[in-house]
Amino acid sequence: MAVIETQGFKLDNSGRRIVVDPITRIEGHLRIEVNLDDKNVIRNAVSTGTMWRGLEVILKGRDPRDAWAFVERICGVCTGVHALASVRTVEDALKIKIPDNANIIRNLMHATLYAQDHLVHFYHLHALDWVDVVSALGADPKKTSELAQSISSWPKSSPGYFRDLQSRLKKFVESGQLGPFRNGYWGHPAYKLPPEANLMAVAHYLEALDFQKEIVKIQTIFGGKNPHPNWRVGGVPCSINLDAAGAVGAINMERLNMVSRIIDDTIAFIDNVYVPDLLAIASFYKDWGAIGGGISSKNLMSYGEFPDIANDESNKSLLMPRGAIINGNLKEILPVDLKDPAQIQEFVGHSWYKYADETKGLHPFDGVTEANFVLGKGTKGTKTAIESIDESAKYSWVKSPRWRGHAMEVGPLARYVIGYASGNAEFKEPVDMVLKKLDVPLPALFSTLGRTAARGLECSWAAHKMRYFFDKLMANLKAGNFATANVDSWEPSTWPAQAQGAGFCEAPRGSLGHWIRIKDTKIDNYQCVVPTTWNAGPRDAQNQIGAYEAALMNTVMAKPDEPLEILRTIHSFDPCLACASHVISPQGEEITRVTIR
Amino acid sequence: MTMTFYDVMRRQGITRRSYLKFCSLTAASLGLGPAFAPTIAHALETKPRTPVLWLHGLECTCCTEAFIRSAHPLAKDVILSMISLDYDDTIMAAAGHQAEAALEQTMKEYKGQYILAVEGNPPLGEDGMFCMPGGKPFLEKLKHVAKDAKAIIAWGSCASWGCVQAAKPNPTTAVPINKVITDKPIIKVPGCPPIPEVMTAVVTYVATFDRLPELDRQGRPKMFYSQRIHDKCYRRPHFDAGQFVEKWDDQGAKEGYCLYKMGCKGPTTYNACSTTRWNEGTSFPIGSGHGCIGCSEDGFWDKGSFYDRLTTIREFGIEANADKVGLAAAGVVGAGLVAHAAVTAIRRAADRNKTEADSSNRVEH
């Protein structure tokens, strides 16, 4: 093909094609294809979502109060974010105001997810891109201890602790059964950590695996289980009872004490393990502050999150600001409105869906998602055994959302840059601290490293906000305010014949929006545009590339057959493909019918 | 970090003496003489960890997330000491060709010896390409790996029943795995997701005793799925006494009354939530004020609103003992009890129908 120029990138697919499928250590199924020039530099990148479930048509005709449970099952990793967006959407449509306690408990549950999800991402989904497990075998436990104690006061740091761990690791490797570490890229020249840092990171990989399950118990206390806790339109399911008979069947002092203790432990773990590890590891990979930026230095968006005032989603209330940055202009934060038909639109020119006019985008209130699985003429292989895909045609189950026509990056980096540009000290000061500690300039933020660093800072921010929300809840209880539900509009008989609404959520991975139309007390249309759709989406009708594709451009690969560099950048977004590709036609056409046996 | 079966037992507080006794009993139960006990002991002391290949179809990864929440045993110990998790796209280090090679190598090295664990399910629509890891239908991968598996675990409601993507009208024609794999034993561990400790208990049971747990007619381990949430619910006395939450956050809700009138599906849901509870026993849905939505039941998405009462039919049914107790306690209240009895009767009838339908191997649509 001819070279395509878009958004400052030159896409050239003439060189050697590399296919990575599956991309592992993500949620769901993703395929990445790139073309390399003769110096092993990525000159073309193709992101293909390889799964599609069709939840929105399943919602049609159902009780809007049930929607949260269906959409919650869009994703079990960022569990609860779709449920939160959904109850907000239904409440917006039916004009239901929730009590202050319900707002605080939702914020607390959501901040809990941020803390756990970011922690698991860093250690279990991302760390092995930077940490060489096999190299840890050659570490000196005493030096590892010195390293650990030089960066943190975390108590598990003695030479004996690291020696024991190393000897277990040795036995494990010597068994020949490497389990999840089998066929890893150990010894790859792009790994830069000294053996001691690797051993410390492996220790914390295991500690974090043990600890993350503690954090989510807060969701279990308020929502009954995790993953997939319970939410409810009009408030939260749990009641508060401090004094009366039967307090053991509700949120009581013992439960509150448990929440408080978990919050303390969470803050301690994140501030004494995650953040110091992040900075220590980053100091060996400063070059990644100039790699993988993609469109992050240009277009970023956040819907904002954590309303401090119940039922108020203005920036006066949102602790994490809402807004968009275009063309890298940090001086201006543009307002974002989910209901404005000119702002958020989805395109399907390169997605396996059909529009009457595919040069145009559709706002989610009018969204159409009719499957259309066709492959381009340049596809190598067959329809059911694709060797390489033809990106000049349709090539992904993910759509291409655009904000005022622009491809946008969403996620922790977007939120931190928007917070930074807003002059909010809660975001600005930690960013400046990291830049100073790593001795890198501000533009280093717009990179693979910047994304990973922003996530770590945000994890700490969320953990401290858990304490803030808890204290706020306790203040309400001291003042005698115990309400957790507004049941005025619970009964469908009280609803108008028709209603529509939109609900937002900043999920750990970025901006999530839901849109609903209710007719005669049932769901008439339901649409979701999710974070990974923004980031992983394919080209649009104008050939504008999405955030993943842009971020891979111009990266040098040390060993093209071992695609560590691709994994680093793609993982820095924390992909969630079940979220990205669940949509289907609101008309609910039959797709294909197959009978077996 | 690698431990043999014996190491694991020792670590769990089992003495050498008990361990050898276990080996003798095993020898006896296998019909071997006591002379074989040392042989078995030696085998277990040096036995490699059972390889597990964990595939993901159409799903939301809540099962994997549940698995890593297990407190006893810790997920870390399961993965590093009890099994060998040689393929799992969610946590494995390798990607692309290296990941696929790990799958093929394990299948070859441990032919007939590995366990296949399936999270999610295959869609049959669009030639299977609604889920196409590696550029091919997931269905193909599933059948390929199932071929040489010793046994199969169906994680969660997706693999067991179909779950949310198979809810009406099931746009991708997603089917539970037993519809496409019919020649292997399948252990169904339903729930959305299943309880973390139930998941690890099933895996460690198989790895420890080298046999499948006892399964019910629908393929679920009896030890966790033979009783209804309602049977062991701590709010059950309020049900029997006719004390119900009538509105969200009313006095009844604050005092932990029964959630039956708020749509709780505990009376028709077979799972261990009210006994094992969630997240190291912290709570379970009813314990935190929301009714059970029945997430471990076949087709639970299509049984009406989660807030609809199970039934309003008023007639006496079976389970005389439970009802007599309730009746004596609250003769005036009646309604709840009657409903309860009816629920039980209807449920039994429904189960009979379901079993018949299942045995005809029907496919949705």
The pLDDT score that the predictor gives to residue A246 is 76
CB within 8 A of B274, min separation 6: which ones? B229, B230, B231, B232, B233, B234, B266, B284, B286
Answer whether residue B215 shows pLDDT above 60: yes
Answer with the residue of higher pLDDT: B313 or B88. B88
Three-class SS state of A362: strand
Report yes or no: A466 at the B interface, CB cutoff 8 Å: no
Test A28 with B61 for CB contact under 8 angstroms: yes
Least confident of A360-374, B39-53, B304-318: B304-318
Structural domains of chain B sorted by starting position, each given as residue range(s) with its CATH number in brackets: 1-47 (no CATH), 48-217 (3.40.50.700), 229-359 (4.10.480.10)
User: Is the confidence at residue B260, as pLDDT, over 90?
Assistant: yes
A454 against B339, higher pLDDT? A454
* pLDDT at B303 exceeding the cut of 60: yes
Q: Which of B74, B173, B235 sits opposite A210 (nearest CB)?
A: B74
Mutate to test the interface with B, among A20, A23, A24, A521 (most CBs of B within 10 A): A24
What pLDDT is stored for residue A371 in this prediction? 84
For residue B340, pLDDT beyond 90: no
Q: What is the pLDDT of residue B309?
A: 92
CA–CA separation, B53 and A131 (whole Å)? 24
Residue of A181, A202, A239, A486 to mutate, testing the B interface (most B Cβ within 10 Å of its Cβ): A239
The whole-number pLDDT of residue B34 equals: 66
Question: Residue A595 above 60 pLDDT?
Answer: no
Does residue A106 have a pLDDT over 80?
A: yes
pLDDT at A329: 98
The Cα–Cα gap between A586 and B224 comes to: 39
Q: What is the pTM of this model?
A: 0.90
Task: Give me the pLDDT at residue A585, please.
Answer: 39
- With contacts defined as CB-CB under 8 Å, which chain B residues touch A597? 361, 363
For the cut 70, the answer to whether the pLDDT of residue B32 exceeds it is: no
Please list, in sequence order, all residues whose beta carbon lies within 8 angstroms of the beta carbon of residue A221, skipping any fewer than 6 positions away. A238, A251, A255, A258, A259, B282, B283, B288
Q: What pLDDT score was predicted for residue B10?
A: 67
In the block, tokens 């006061």 appear at: A153
Output the pLDDT for position A245: 82
Stretch A179-195: mean pLDDT: 97
Using a CB-CB cut-off of 8 Å, the residues of chain B touching A386 are: 132, 135-136
CA distance A416 to A429: 11
Query: Per residue in A425-443, pLDDT tens?
Result: 999 999 999 999 999 999 9
* Structure tokens, A424: 């909010």
Long-range contacts of B136-144 (CB under 8 A, 24+ apart): B136/A384, B136/A385, B136/A386, B137/A384, B138/B55, B138/B57, B138/B58, B139/B180, B140/A384, B141/B55, B142/B55, B142/B57, B142/B118, B142/B177, B142/B180, B142/B181, B143/B180, B143/B181
pLDDT of res. A63: 98
Model confidence band, residue B330 (pLDDT cutoffs 50, 70, 90): very low
Distance CA B109, CA B97 (A): 18
Residue A327 has pLDDT above 70, yes or no: yes
Q: How many angstroms separate the CA atoms of A451 and A361, rounded?
A: 29
Please state, rounded to an integer, the average pLDDT across all residues of chain B.
83
Whole-number pLDDT of residue B315: 31
User: From the CA of B105, how many Å to the nearest CA of chain A?
Assistant: 10
Lowest average pLDDT, out of A471-480, A540-549, A576-585, B192-201, goes to A576-585
**SS3 of A254-320:** HHHHHHHHHHHHHHHHHHHHHHHHHHHHHCCCHHHHHCCCCCCCCCEEECCEEECCCCCCCCCCEEE
Residue B57 scores a pLDDT above 80:
yes
pLDDT the model gives residue A528:
92
Residue B19: predicted pLDDT: 67
Chain B residues near residue A221 by CB distance under 8 angstroms: 282-283, 288
Q: What is the pLDDT confidence band of residue B25, given thresholds at 50, 70 and 90?
A: low
Residue from the list A51, A221, A250 with its beta carbon closest to the beta carbon of B282: A221
Closest CA to A69 of B301, B323, B114: B301
Name the nearest CA neighbour of B259 among B277, B239, B279, B278. Answer: B239
Q: What residue in B sits closest to A61 (Cα-Cα)?
A: B168
Interval B84-97: pLDDT, tens: 999 999 999 999 99
For residue A345, the surrounding DSSP H or E stretch is strand A344-347
Percent of chain A with pLDDT over 90: 92
Q: Are A235 and A486 in contact (CB under 8 A)?
A: yes
Q: What is the pLDDT of residue B17?
A: 73
Please check the confidence at residue B297 and state whether its pLDDT lies above 60. Answer: yes
pLDDT band at residue B338 under the 50/70/90 scheme: very low
The reported pLDDT for the residue numbered A263 is 98
Q: What is the mean pLDDT of residues A27-44?
A: 97
pLDDT at B343: 44
Which two three-digit tokens encode residue A467? 């304490």
pLDDT in tens, A501-524: 999 999 999 999 999 999 999 999
> Predicted confidence band at A378 (pLDDT cuts at 50, 70, 90)?
very high
- At residue A581, the pLDDT reads 65
pLDDT, chain A, mean = 94
Residue A386 has pLDDT above 80, yes or no: yes
pLDDT tens digits along A282-324: 999 999 999 999 999 999 999 999 999 999 999 999 999 999 9
Specify the pLDDT at position B4. 62
Instruction: Judge contact between B291 and B306, C-beta under 8 A.
Output: yes
Q: Would you say residue A100 has pLDDT above 60?
A: yes
Partner-chain contact A561 B63, CB within 8 Å: no
Contact B174 A226 (CB under 8 A): no
- For A:425-454, CB contacts with B below 8 A are none
- Contact A289/A449 with Cβ under 8 angstroms? yes
Question: From the CA of B236, how many Å to the nearest CA of chain A?
Answer: 12
Confidence of residue A366 (pLDDT cuts 50, 70, 90): confident
Q: Which of A221, A228, A389 sits opposite B288 (nearest CB)?
A: A221
Q: Which of A63, A239, A591 sits opposite B305 (nearest CB)?
A: A63
Burial class (CB in 10 A: 0-12, 13-18, 19+), A357: exposed
Dist. CA A525–CA A548, nearest whole Å: 29
Q: In this predicted complex, what is the ipTM? A: 0.95
8 Å CB contact between A131 and A25: no
pLDDT of residue B3: 56
- CB contact A526 to B (< 8 Å): no
Would the pLDDT of B327 be above 90?
no
**Confidence (pLDDT) at B310:** 86
Per-residue model confidence as pLDDT tens digits over A223-265: 999 999 999 999 999 999 999 887 777 899 999 999 999 999 9
Euclidean distance between CA atoms A510 and A408, whole angstroms: 11
Apex A284 CA angle, A283 and A286, nearest 5 = 70
Q: Across residues B28-46, what is the average pLDDT?
A: 61
Query: Quick count: other Cβ atoms within 10 Å of Cβ B229?
Result: 26
User: Residue B92 is nearest to which of A24, A169, A236, comparing CB atoms?
Assistant: A24
**Which helix (H) or strand (E) covers residue B270, if one does?**
none
- Tell if the CB–CB gap between A76 and B63 is shorter than 8 Å: yes
Amino acid symbol at A290: A
R_g over Cα of chain A: 24
Q: How far apart are CA B80 and CA B84, in angstroms?
A: 7
Condensed to tens digits (0 to 9), the pLDDT of residues A263-275 reads 999 999 999 999 9
- Chain B residues with CB inside 8 Å of A163's CB? none
- Sequence-ordered list of residues with C-beta below 8 angstroms from that of A167, at least 6 positions apart, any chain: none
| Position A401 pLDDT exceeds 60 | yes
pLDDT score at B152: 97
Which are the contacts of B244, defined by CB distance < 8 A and separation ≥ 6?
Answer: B238, B252, B257, B258, B259, B260, B261, B262, B336
User: And the tokens for B33?
Assistant: 């003489």
| Residues B200, B205, B207, B208, CA torsion sign | positive
Neighboring chain B residues of A240 at a CB cutoff of 8 Å: 254
State what percent of residues in chain B have pLDDT above 70: 74
Which range is most confident: A216-230, A356-370, B301-315, B326-340? A216-230
